[in-house]
Amino acid sequence: MRAVWCGFALGVVWLQQQAALPGLFGATLLVLTVCVASGSALWGLGGHGERVARRRAAWCAVWLAAFCIGFGYAAWRAHARLAYALPVDWEGRDIEVRGHIKGLPSYTGDRAANGDGGDGGVRFLFVVEAADAPVEHFPRTLQLSWIPQGAPLPEGLTPGARWRLVVRLKRAHGNANFGVRDAEAALFARNIRATGYVTRPAAAQRLEGDARGVGVTVDRWRAALRARIDQVLTNAPHRGIVIALAIGAQDAVSAADWQLMRATGTSHLVAISGLHIGFVAGLAAWFASAVWRRSGWIGGRLCIAWPLVLPAQKVAAPCGALFGAFHAALAGFNVPAQRALWMLTVVALSFVSGRRVAPSVVLAWALGLVLLIDPWAVTAAGFWLSFCAVAAILFATSGRVAPRTDSDGRDGSGGLDARGLVDLDGSYTSGAHRDAVARVASRRRASRIAAASRVHARTLGRAFGARIRSGAHVQFAVTVALAPLTAYWFAQIPLIGPLANAFAIPWVSVLVTPLVLAGVALPAPLDGFAFNIAHHLLEALAVGLHTVSGPAWALWRLRQPDAWALAAAAAGVAWCLAPRGWPLRWAAPLAWLPLLVPPPSGPPPGTFRLTALDIGQGSAIVVETAHHALLFDAGPGPESTYAGERVVVPYLQAAGVNTLDTLVISHADSDHSGGAAAVLDGVEVRQLLAALPPDHALWSSARAAGAQTLPCAAGQHWQWDGVDFTMLWPDPGPLQGRPNAHCCVLRVSIGSTSSTVAAAPREVAPPLAALLAADIEAPVERSLLARERDALRAQILLVPHHGSKTSSTEPFLDSIDPLIAVFQVGYRNRFHHPHPGVFARYVARHIELPRSDADGAVRIEAGVAGPRVLTLESYRRTHRRYWMDP
């Protein structure tokens, strides 16, 4: 089964990397391959004593058949899910839907902060039962936002509650950026095929009767537990962690807690993981075993003999698995909880049936069952971290030898043989001789008891030392195994992770989690005592984590590794954790060099790389030279989409940009400056250039972060690695008028040359340049034209004001004469950018027009592939997946 389930998993993983799903021809080819491979496997494994080569070929056929089955199964599930979609014609239109709320609503604003039902919006999943749109396959699950418009949120937004709502929807669409988590994949994995918001809250109607089902009942329990914790802890700083440990909902965990846990490698502790499921199942199994052993005794007499007929161990195993299933349900059946649950189930079944199953087979069954239920689990980091951690533990401990008994026949318990307590010849005499013999026997007994005590102490010491060494070995194995995955998913390796986990894991597992579970089980007001004590313990844990996370070297930031570096690191992990006797284990770290010491990420000297990020409605552009980096605008912040935290900082870290030499904030509009605070917190910023009012909070934040501050003004110029940077606007002096009238306009250029785009030759005037025009409008465009028309010439243009009708005048475009014009616009944004007339001006000039809403992030290499070449790459073309909206 190991070969079957591993091959199946590889097929599922390979399907999730495809840009398109297989059609009829592909399905036919898969069926034929499965038939041929299955026949070859049966033929090769059917005989006895056959040649080794034949059996190896047969096992390869098994892998191939399982791979094709996994690939075809995932494709079939994907076809079925893609069939439900919102037609483009129905985007942005009011639709009346009827259905019920699924899962736990997520509150924002004051209500999320204190859980007391204050102001703020709510986001929830809505299962559609009927819709007034004549769409055959209307999406079954919607993600809706309800923003109160001058009135508080209504009561009854609870799991299973049925509502009639008027909503405005759009197709499931997420930001698509290099090195950043695929938000669209996460929506697809949760079967969310449309997102939107309630347009007429006053017209919302609560319907009679609630939805029913096991899932709805569990969600109601979870909501009730969350309400109890909110009532007890209210504004407590670590309330979100208590909620996460109780019901698996992590939306209430504060940003400060997330930052601390990521820096110390302890983020896994806030999830109801396999460790917690195993702890709960073990506790339940022990309790069931104890009750079963004593259930036949009544009044001190054995009246019923069922403990003798059915051993307590066979009762404890399924009871533990059942209670683990209940706890996994409270966790929302996340992937680590599913993995632990299926492993418990397989172990329980094998124990009850009297069979011994290898741990690797148990893990293989869990892998297959998780992917049978959810083929898209492989797109989440939790899947890889959970399964790889368990696999590393099993592999690292596979070659360890079991403890041996002592050489004198003792079993290591320190017990004495019965012969040491009786006389040697067994004779008994009378008188003085008998007294002398008794004294000698007494001395011998005392001597042997003392010797036994010393042996017992030594045995306990050795056992304790063995447990410490075993725990350290397991922690080492997990740390080494997960380091490449941590670098890939989070672009960092917490060097203090082993130390932090050494006390955080037992602290949370032995102290905090039992108290949280006690609070779940106890009635009020006893639950409040348990939750408060658990929170006090979390406060003490936070103090300890802050202490060890203080040094700058505690967190090692790395560029996101490519496929080859990741494969080499994985081979190095297997090499390092191999059993003793494996040749050249000391050389294993050499395989990690591509991961730990990657080549320079910047372009060659004399060239530059420009990346326009997909942040929705807003602007954020990264410009890199050989040894320097500049960020032009930082996108929206907490007031909108949190693009600074979700996109800009993760991209910079994944790209290996841990220091920004200059952060340019073009003006004060929130879609350009809102994410700057997150950037200042996430990476080192050496200089802030901005067109902001003197009292703007970013000035003081930048100085507090150690950055130099300077207002941007026309005439500023500097050079990095042979690349010129020139500020063209605004004029020096006080800022006057609307923010758009004094935007920073930056020109980036390299030496005199000619250029071609996408292998289509077109001679252009030197030098090769990019113009970042922010949100300037027609008056500023005319002012720039009047000053020096030739200074505007550029082959790359960040379209002014997202393509608004107030900018991109004809003379301005003629003076620039761009080859590439980048539109940074949000998908179906409320401003309707770009304006159709403005977009037509660009189309008429036969310009390459990448758009962030359709193409995702855009990366342009200026002179990297050759002095005469511009290379253009858009994320949704080069990294396309079948779930992406066409």
Residue 523 covered by a domain = yes
Do both 781 and 795 map to the same domain? yes
More reliable by pLDDT, 788 or 343: 343
Rounded Cα–Cα distance for residues 843 and 847 (Å): 6
Instruction: Place 402 in a pLDDT band, splitting at 50, 70 and 90.
Output: very low
Rounded Cα–Cα distance for residues 758 and 820 (Å): 11
Residues 757 and 872 sit within 8 Å (Cβ to Cβ) = yes
Do both 259 and 185 map to the same domain? no
Buried b (16+ CB within 10 A) or exposed e, 841-867: bbeebebbbbbbbbbbbbbbbbbbeee
Residue 448 covered by a domain = no
Do both 197 and 129 map to the same domain? yes
Residues 142 and 171 sit within 8 Å (Cβ to Cβ) = no
860 strand-pairing partners: 610, 872
Instruction: Place 867 in a pLDDT band, splitting at 50, 70 and 90.
Output: low
| Whether pLDDT at 415 is above 80 | no
Do both 71 and 92 map to the same domain? no
The count of other CB atoms within 10 Å of the CB of residue 810 is 10
| pLDDT reported for residue 327 | 83
Residues 584 and 840 sit within 8 Å (Cβ to Cβ) = no
Do both 692 and 730 map to the same domain? yes
Domain boundaries, position 750? 608-878
More reliable by pLDDT, 299 or 135: 135
Which single residue is written with the structure tokens 């001395």?
A: 443
Rounded Cα–Cα distance for residues 561 and 638 (Å): 30
Do both 720 and 755 map to the same domain? yes
CATH code at position 760: 3.60.15.10
| pLDDT reported for residue 409 | 42
pLDDT tens-digit series, residues 468-513: 777 777 878 888 888 899 899 888 888 888 888 888 888 888 889 8
Do both 208 and 297 map to the same domain? no
More reliable by pLDDT, 813 or 302: 813
The pLDDT of 762-769, averaged and rounded, is 61
pLDDT tens-digit series, residues 27-79: 999 999 999 988 888 877 765 555 777 777 888 888 999 999 999 999 999 99
Residues 180 and 880 sit within 8 Å (Cβ to Cβ) = no
The pLDDT of 324-335, averaged and rounded, is 84
**Segment of 149-158, 190-199, 274-283, 298-307 carrying the highest mean pLDDT:** 190-199
Strands (E), 241-303: 297-298, 301-302
pLDDT-above-70 percentage for the chain:
87
pLDDT tens-digit series, residues 230-239: 999 988 999 9
Residue 885 covered by a domain = no
Instruction: Place 110 in a pLDDT band, splitting at 50, 70 and 90.
Output: very low
Single out the residue in 557, 572, 600 at which a domain terminates: 557
Single out the residue in 557, 574, 593 at which a domain terminates: 557
Specify the number of domains making up the chain: 4
DSSP classification of residue 350: H
Longest dimension (CA), the chain: 131
Do both 196 and 268 map to the same domain? no
pTM as predicted: 0.86
**Segment of 252-256, 265-269, 419-423 carrying the highest mean pLDDT:** 252-256
Do both 319 and 392 map to the same domain? yes
Single out the residue in 521, 542, 557 at which a domain terminates: 557
pLDDT tens-digit series, residues 571-623: 999 888 888 777 877 888 889 999 988 888 889 999 999 999 999 999 999 99
Residues 607 and 750 sit within 8 Å (Cβ to Cβ) = yes
Residue 78 covered by a domain = yes
| Whether pLDDT at 406 is above 50 | no
| pLDDT reported for residue 866 | 61
More reliable by pLDDT, 160 or 302: 160
| Whether pLDDT at 412 is above 50 | no
Instruction: Place 431 in a pLDDT band, splitting at 50, 70 and 90.
Output: low
Q: Is 582 helix (H, G, I), strand (E, B) or coil?
A: coil
Rounded Cα–Cα distance for residues 119 and 149 (Å): 11
Write phi, then psi, for 355 (nearest 5 degrees).
Answer: -110, 155
The pLDDT of 837-842, averaged and rounded, is 96
Do both 628 and 675 map to the same domain? yes
Do both 174 and 35 map to the same domain? no
Instruction: Place 115 in a pLDDT band, splitting at 50, 70 and 90.
Output: very low
More reliable by pLDDT, 148 or 439: 148
Could you tell me how far CA 419 lies from the centroid of its own chain?
63
Do both 75 and 99 map to the same domain? no
Residues 187 and 195 sit within 8 Å (Cβ to Cβ) = yes
| pLDDT reported for residue 55 | 77
Mean pLDDT of the chain: 85
